[in-house]
Amino acid sequence: MTAIATAGALSLPISIRGSCKISSSKKFQGIKKGFRVYAVFGEESNLGDKKSQWGTLFDVEDPRSKVPQSKGRFLDVYQALEVARYDIQYCDWRARQDLLAIMLLHEKVVEVLNPLAREYKSIGTMKKELAELQGELAQAHKQVHISEARVATALDKLAYMEELVNDKLLEDRTATESNVASSSSTSTQSTDTVKKLPRKSLDVSGPVQPYHPRLKNFWYPVAFSTDLKDDTMIPIECFEEPWVLFRGKDGNPGCVQNTCAHRACPLHLGSVNEGRIQCPYHGWEYTTDGKCEKMPSTRLLNVKIRSVPCLEQEGMIWIWPGDDPPTATIPSLQPPSGFEIHAEIVIELPVEHGLLLDNLLDLAHAPFTHTSTFAKGWTVPSLVKFLTPASGLQGYWDPYPIDMEFRPPCMVLSTIGISKPGKLEGQSTKECTTHLHQLHVCIPSSRNKTRLLYRMSLDFAPVLKHIPFIDYLWRHFAEQVLNEDLRLVIGQQERMINGANIWNLPVGYDKLGVRYRLWRKALEQGVKQLPFSKPM
């Protein structure tokens, strides 16, 4: 199969020695959502002797002698990975050659138009040279269109590779009795793990009750910074109250009630005017602290709507919806060192946020529920365990190389070890060379609705984030996974409302979900020292 580039060339920083000047205004670009493809037609045989003057920027080995040889369709994900690696290498090399050709064309134009050179050339000669350059530039335009077509084809190939990875995911992983015995003996000797929780029923049944006020006394991340522009508003619900986010004149975010003090009109239907949110009904304008500073066509009154503390940290907008004074520090949700953020997604889901957290803290359901997405082809282990410290809300899954943590009040963080594309190996994430880090934030919008913030980070393949429209692909995949969960969780919610206990018989792999429920129950009861947390 012919390899097709999966990514275009990126803008490259240029350090130029000597007196040469490069004008960036004449670059030929194919731009889609921040993704740039630089390409120009040039005689590659004439470029080699000119590379030295540009330094090591263009000193990259020609990868075309290493084209992967594959006949027909790919047989496994390793061949797909080999081709993808070649595509990236070729795309990088091609971009450098095209950029060098553009520089050389620019030098030729400067040389032709140089006043000193014109003294020794006739007008006819100059016209001929300029005409030749115009022809080369026309070829450059043609090459740009070819590059754009390659990107479009690469997206199709990426989708095909995703299907391959899903088909082959974990197919060679087996859970042998020896591994189970080894894990059992290790856990009994370790001082960092504890015995299984007793099979004690939790009472989580009946209609969804109003959220306890103590659950509000936390910092909640409710939006990603990239979604809140200077002239935009983000309406949200939090604990059954409507709020709206916007940026003030100083650029800092604010959160006020989404209801005008005049006639109760939703403010998010209006606009942002010089850092104030303007009601679309009669034009009243409010600052980020809720004060009304403008009342057109009438005398200005001393009016103020409710606001809550609102801060911005590490690419997220946080609010404090509780009545207690906010804490001085906000927890960090940054991915671990070495990871780059590839996707940030916000989705509204029709389930109570506790039920969604129960689902996210459970990995044992994956080979039964997610059979059409990431767990397609997974084998069912003979035993699934979650190993955790005695007084913690974090640990790791066995036999899966996945670390997981519940971070109060509503965050789930996980790191997944991927030894090879489409394959999980090893008993810990440390044994894997590449990883995927996930953050799920479950905002309690109302009794039967949750605002989910999802962030995905990788410590490999940084070029993926530059592929045009890749965010749409990530969102599509995330929605597919969530839809597999939702049909089950919505069914749980209906039965819970009718009196069924959704935590009637917890077993060993339910440990983290049970601890979340015990933590939440203790919080609502006003326990001073919450379980599974360090003393303050």
Exposed / middle / buried, residue 31 (Cβ in 10 Å: 0-12, 13-18, 19+) = exposed
Does the pLDDT at position 16 exceed 70?
Answer: no
β-pairing, 253-257 vs 307-308, is antiparallel
Least confident of 192-196, 236-240, 351-355: 192-196
Neighbouring CB atoms inside 10 A of 418's CB total 21
- Domain regions of the chain by residue span: 24-168, 185-207+336-525, 220-312
Specify the fold of 220-312: Rieske Iron-sulfur Protein (2.102.10)
First to last CA, the chain: 60
Q: Tell me the mean pLDDT in the region 94-113.
A: 71
- Give residues with Cβ within 8 angstroms of 343, minimum separation 6: 454, 455, 456, 470, 471, 474, 475, 478
464 neighbors 7 (Cβ within 8 angstroms): yes
Least confident of 61-70, 324-333, 348-357: 61-70
Q: Is the pTM of this model over 0.85?
A: no
User: Percentage of the chain surpassing pLDDT 90?
Assistant: 45
Structure confidence at residue 136 as a pLDDT band (50, 70, 90): confident
Does the pLDDT at position 492 exceed 50?
Answer: yes
Least confident of 240-249, 367-376, 496-505: 367-376
User: Reduced to 3 states, what is the DSSP secondary structure of residue 341?
Assistant: strand
What is the CATH number that goes with domain 185-207+336-525?
Answer: 3.90.380.10
Least confident of 41-50, 90-99, 465-474, 493-502: 41-50
Which residue shows structure tokens 């359901």? 365
Residue 521 CA neighbour count, 13 Å, CB half: 9
Does the pLDDT at position 66 exceed 50?
Answer: yes
Does the pLDDT at position 309 exceed 90?
Answer: yes
SS3 of 187-250: the string is HHHCCCCCCCCCCCCCCCCCCCCCCCHHHHCCCEEEEEHHHCCCCCCEEEEECCEEEEEEECCC
Q: Give the residue ranges of DSSP H helices in 2-122.
A: 77-113, 115-118
Rounded Cα–Cα distance for residues 207 and 483 (Å): 23
Name which residue leads in pLDDT, 389 or 193. Answer: 389
Q: How far is residue 441 from each of residues 209, 236, 377, 394, measured CA to CA in Å?
A: 21, 14, 28, 16
Largest CA distance in the chain: 97
Q: How far is residue 479 from each of residues 17, 116, 346, 373, 484, measured CA to CA in Å?
A: 50, 64, 10, 10, 9
pLDDT at residue 273, rounded to an integer: 96
- Which tokens is 146 given? 């070819």
